[in-house]
A and B are shown apart, each in its own frame.
Chain A
Amino acid sequence: MQLGFLVDLHLCMGCKGCEIACKVENEVPLSTWRLRVKYVDVGTFPETKRTFTPLRCNHCENAPCERICPVSALHYIENGIVNIDKERCIGCAGCVMACPYGAIYIDPETQTADKCTYCAHRIASSMMPACVVACPVEANIFGDLEDPTSNISKYIQQHRDVQVRKPEKGTNPHHFYVGASQVHLNPLASKREEGYSLFNNITHLPLGGHH
């Protein structure tokens, strides 16, 4: 079994239900996110539209975070999930530096690395990840990539525009997008300008880093 995620961006409406469900389920501290929805505004007024991209750990088959972790705190489990043992983590932030998707953060409460685990604890109890359950439009499709009859496998078979983020990195992500453009997937395809963010002056909890 190799579990994977697919987000149909045609369906996603940026409600952030997945984000909140993840926060609640995993008790993610303030100012950190295991899953977040990025908004990018495209075009010039009045011809504008807003795109939504849920971003989470890609659970790569060739995960740079797993490779660089000095103590195997980041490790594969049999179903393909890249899990994290927070008791073992030494907080070196090597994984933060290695993840090409910016999906790993240092938990300000435990001072250890943390990220999306596809709700491994729920899956162990035969439940779907919290974000899948919360999505009102079923944009999150989750299942076994090795089972051709699973929803995710069928989705991949039926859609031509299945993409992953940064395929050139050779990480073989187990997280796919349907209906994505460069603006959705490539961080360099959009500007980050001061004053354009819906949230400004965001307070980050102290991490103990030395900048």
Chain B
Amino acid sequence: MLKFPRLAIAPIACALWAVPADAGKLNLGREAKPVEVRAWDIDVRPDGQGLPDGKGTVSQGDALFQERCSACHGAFGEGIDRWPVLAGGRNSLKSERPEKTIGSYWPYLSTAYDYIYRAMPYGDAQSLTHDETYAILAYLLHMNDLVGKKFELNKSNFTSIRLPNEKNFIDDPRPDMPGRNMATICMTNCKSDVKITRRAAIIDVTPTDEKNPSASID
């Protein structure tokens, strides 16, 4: 009589040991306080979720941009050396050398808010106030000929600003290589003639290590 309950209990215990993932909540971590979430939750979405209260004008943004941004991005967002170009480049996306700027390429203004507030100025991240971020964005919009010089950007008019290239983003259509499958692979006598068409040796931009010329790259 006593044997039955013992046998019945043993398999259940085993099952719990084997699949701890299904054992329910583990009571790990602690609840995040609202003040903690508010401080760390800095992201902004295209629909405006996450936008803080604030405002800034083109002229305020101009002054801020010259002080905080122009050393890398140039006075007009033209980009110094290899630092990113922020303005211009409209109608360049189908050309030989596309210029991807906020005005020519970026799909959403919220992306620029999110990025500037969290990561700029480079090396001094999260040092801008929300008003300063709105102002710098207003100046960037102006440099891209998207708003006039008297424009003020704020939380309420933010989502009404649409960037020109938004409609040109499409979802990933891969696989996109027609006719490449195992059934059609050739293994012998696949070509009659082979010529070298391009060589890295001719446009050689392979890095070399000046300090140590015996490095393995050489």
Partners in one complex: no
